[in-house]
Amino acid sequence: MNELTPTTMTVIEAKGPDASDLVTSERPVPVPGKGEVLIKIAAAGINRPDVLQRKGLYPAPNGASDILGLEAAGTVEAIGEGVSNLNIGDKVTALLNGGGYAQYACTPALQCLAVPAGLSMVEAASLPETFFTVWSNLFDRAMLQPGETLLIHGGSSGIGTAAIQIAAALGVHVITTAGSDEKCKACMELGAERAINYTDEDFVEVTREFGKKHGGVSGVNVILDMVGGDYVAKNIKSLAPDGRLVNIAFLGGSKVEIDLMTVMLKRLTMTGSTLRARSPEFKGDIAKNLEKTVWPLLESGSIRPVVHATFSLEMASKAHALMESSQHIGKIVLET
């Protein structure tokens, strides 16, 4: 450890299920283990899983910090045994297993990427959780290809704004849903070719026509969904033959009734995943793909982080209240 590194740090602890239960506390600065680095955090992103963890619905994996926060950007402060790809002083953005709502956090070195040239620490902190999730689910699991069609639910969310931009930049025809005209407009500005205000339109029929226009068949090739609930049956109707449905959350419920005959007749694939419990090696492979394919797009300005608001670390409760209001477009970030 750097001799100037303090022994204690400010953190945010969840003392209960409500946003107001996020309080400031003091804890020892963690020490990096084998294969890990200690990051002096400049900014940390907020994500829906943080809200679920605060409510007791998404516990940290064994061995992970109980402190909320799955992504951060900052400076490498110390290096654990066996780390050769990073040096003290490197500016990085990192996927964390937990611990981001703090002044310091440890994470496997494989889960770190250089801060893209031209981006601030706040912008860099908004990247890892969403970009890793989007890449893993759309391009690794769903095998999304240039020229295909993609429906993204929740297009104005952190995941949505990242997915729209990455997919559109790589030659995919994107259609999305959002809950207001303002959010639909933002999605179009980010690269969606069609945005559906789900309070006014039936996304099934619009999506089927979108598929005919861009692929010659009724429905889209891939759907990225975080809603679940009654969307699952509607998603099945919205997919083209050989389509792929990827669920990354079930905000509307995970117990549903569907007609599997349609899945069989259309040769559909239904899948889903969570990222947090996967190995550092698995996440490291995603990092390599992002560095090769997506980081140049960020550095050229072809795609950009969408940060709706920033709060000081001590104002984490207000940041969570904003997240739960769903009034934001893009990411919410804490600054230490």
- Note the pTM of the prediction, 2 decimals: 0.95
Q: What crossing angle do the helices spanning 181-190 and 158-169 adopt, rounded to 10°?
A: 30
When computed from its CA atoms, the radius of gyration of the chain, rounded to whole angstroms, is 20
pLDDT, average across residues 202-223: 96
Residues 196 and 283 in one domain: no
Between CA 264 and CA 242 the distance in angstroms is 10
Between CA 172 and CA 190 the distance in angstroms is 13
CA 275 from centre of chain: 10
Inside any domain, residue 3? no
95-135 pLDDT, tens per residue? 999 999 999 999 999 999 999 999 999 999 999 999 999 99
Residues 228 and 110 in one domain: no
The H or E element containing residue 44 is strand 36-46
Residue 4 has pLDDT above 90, yes or no: no
pLDDT, average across residues 39-53: 97
302-326 pLDDT, tens per residue? 999 999 999 999 999 999 999 999 9
Q: In this predicted structure, what is the pLDDT of residue 1?
A: 67
- Of 272, 300, 327, the position where a domain reaches its end is 272
DSSP string, 140-203: IIS---TT-EEEESSTTSHHHHHHHHHHHHTT-EEEEEESSHHHHHHHHHHT-SEEEETTTS-H
| Domain range for 139 | 131-272
Q: Give, rounded to a whole angstrom, the gap between the first and last alpha carbons of the chain.
A: 20
pLDDT, average across residues 189-197: 98
Between CA 336 and CA 329 the distance in angstroms is 22
Q: In this predicted structure, what is the pLDDT of residue 128?
A: 98
pLDDT, average across residues 259-278: 95
Residues 166 and 230 in one domain: yes
The 3-state DSSP composition of the chain as helix, strand, coil percent (nearest 5) reads 35, 25, 40
Residues 242 and 286 in one domain: no
- Of 240, 272, 304, the position where a domain reaches its end is 272
Residues 153 and 195 in one domain: yes
Residue 3 has pLDDT above 90, yes or no: no
Total domain count for the chain?
2
CATH number, residue 62: 3.90.180.10
Q: Where are the alpha helices (DSSP H) in the chain?
A: 48-54, 121-125, 128-134, 158-169, 181-190, 203-215, 231-238, 260-265, 280-289, 295-300, 316-325
Q: Which of 108, 109, 72, 115 is nearest to 91 (CA)?
A: 115
pLDDT, average across residues 278-306: 97
Residues 248 and 294 in one domain: no
- Of 249, 272, 295, the position where a domain reaches its end is 272
